[in-house]
Structure formats: C-alpha cells, structure tokens
Amino acid sequence: MIKLLIADDETLIRMDLKSAFKGSCFQVVGEAQDGFSAIKLFKQFRPEVILMDVKMPVMNGLDASRIILELDASVSIILLTAYCNEDLMIEARKIGFSGYIMKPINSSNIIPTIEMMHRNFKNYHSAQCALEKTQRRLDNRIVIDRAKGILMKQKQCSEDEAYQEIKNVSKERNFPMSEVAQLIISNDQVKVT
Ligand SMILES: [Mg+2]
C-alpha cells in the first residue's frame, strides 16, 4: 500500500477523494484542512504521496509543499488546482511538484493518474540521487588527486605513497579521505600566500 495524505480545505473534496481511493493501492493516512496541518500530518505519518490543494487558509499549499520537500525531497506532491496559469506552473516546477490535477476532480481516472505521477517522480528522484552521488564521487576524486600532487611535491614521494598517506590519516582520524585531502590543499594554500 502507498501511504497518501489529502490536504484540501473543502470537506466535500476530501470526502470524494477518500472514497475514490477505497480498494486501491493507496491508503489515505490523513486529511488536512490547511497547509499547516498538512506539515504536521506529514511528520506524523510520513506519506509517500500528498494531494495538495493550492488555496487553503492559514498556510497555502505552495508554502506547505516547500517546507515538506525541504524535510524530505523524495515525497511526491501533486497539486490540486482550479486555476492553472503560467506563473503557478513556473512556481510549481521550482518547488519540485510531481504533477497537478485540475479541479473539478474526475475521480474515475484519478487512481492511475496519481499512480503514474508517483512512479515517474520516484524514478526521477532516484536518478537524481544517483547523479548527485556520481558527481560527489567525481568531486572527491579531483580533491584527492590535487592533495596527492601536493604531498608528492612536499615529500618527494610516489603517487602510491601519497595516496597511502591520505588513506592512513583518514583511517586514524576517522575523517573521510576527501576531507583529509581538502585539509592538505588548504594548508598548502596557506603556505603559498
Ligand atoms: Mg482550497
């Protein structure tokens, strides 16, 4: 079951949505009437999908989504909106929504629509994470290579020996190799200036 949260200030819409999810792969874990309670319920139930109305009292759906995505970038947030203008779409893309559904909601096809948006977002998010990991690894390698070069010059040692030294310090001090390398680079820059 996929945990889902409904956030809409209109009781009727929440009721309709809730009944549409009966017997589906989605389990409605909570209902919020405003953005503030959406954040509260998100922290409590950790849903994977949130249906988020844009216009709500206390805190609107855009602000609530921004805060939720800062807490957890892997949650699929789907906007529910009665209007759809260019400004809203630009804002929505910036915040990182998984999609949007126009009101009035057609509950007959809402399940496959949300399922597809959620699946696409999950794929996108894991690809994004893998990309960031690769980039971080690449950045670390560049830093370690630079530090190796500095050590080779300072100690007149081989590349292997320089690498081994970074590795040993990293082990002894329980610091990642990239941070040890960064320290070596910073110390060298201090000496130069
Ligand atoms: Mg509303």
Which pLDDT score is estimated for 86? 86
CA of 68 to the centre of ligand 1 (A): 18
What SS3 string covers the chain?
CEEEEEECCCHHHHHHHHHHCCCCCEEEEEEECCHHHHHHHHHHHCCCEEEEECCCCCCCHHHHHHHHHHHCCCCEEEEEECCCCHHHHHHHHHHCCCEEEECCCCCCCHHHHHHHHHHHHHHHHHHHHHHHHHHHHHHHHHHHHHHHHHHHHHHCCCHHHHHHHHHHHHHHHCCCHHHHHHHHHHHHHHHHC
Domain spans in the chain, listed from the N-terminal domain onward: 2-108, 134-192
Which of 3.30.565.10, 3.40.50.2300, 3.40.1710.10, 3.30.56.10 is the CATH number of 2-108?
A: 3.40.50.2300
pTM of the model: 0.77
CA of 8 to the centre of ligand 1 (A): 6
Residues 14 and 8: beta-carbon distance below 8 Å: yes
Which pLDDT score is estimated for 87? 86
pLDDT, tens digit, 9 for 90 and up, residues 93-109: 889 899 999 999 988 88
Q: What is the CA radius of gyration of the chain?
A: 24
CA of 53 to the centre of ligand 1 (A): 6
CA of 3 to the centre of ligand 1 (A): 22
Which pLDDT score is estimated for 107? 82
Q: For the chain, how many residues are written?
A: 193
Distance CA 20, CA 17 (A): 5
Residues 80 and 50: beta-carbon distance below 8 Å: no
CA of 46 to the centre of ligand 1 (A): 22
Which pLDDT score is estimated for 79? 94
CA of 121 to the centre of ligand 1 (A): 24
CA of 7 to the centre of ligand 1 (A): 9
CA of 130 to the centre of ligand 1 (A): 36
Q: What is the dihedral of CA 150, 154, 160, 165, to 10 degrees?
A: -90
CA of 18 to the centre of ligand 1 (A): 16
CA of 134 to the centre of ligand 1 (A): 41
Which pLDDT score is estimated for 193? 60
The values of phi and psi at residue 102, to 5°, are: -80, 145
Per-residue confidence in pLDDT tens, the chain, 193 aa? 999 999 999 999 999 999 999 999 999 999 999 999 999 999 999 999 999 999 999 899 999 999 999 999 999 999 999 887 888 888 888 898 999 999 999 888 899 999 999 999 999 999 999 999 999 999 999 999 999 999 999 999 999 999 999 999 999 999 999 999 999 999 988 776 6
Which pLDDT score is estimated for 80? 94
pLDDT, tens digit, 9 for 90 and up, residues 30-41: 999 999 999 999
CA of 148 to the centre of ligand 1 (A): 58
Domain 134-192 part of CATH 2.40.50.140: no
CA of 80 to the centre of ligand 1 (A): 9
CA of 109 to the centre of ligand 1 (A): 21
Which pLDDT score is estimated for 26? 96
Which pLDDT score is estimated for 192? 62
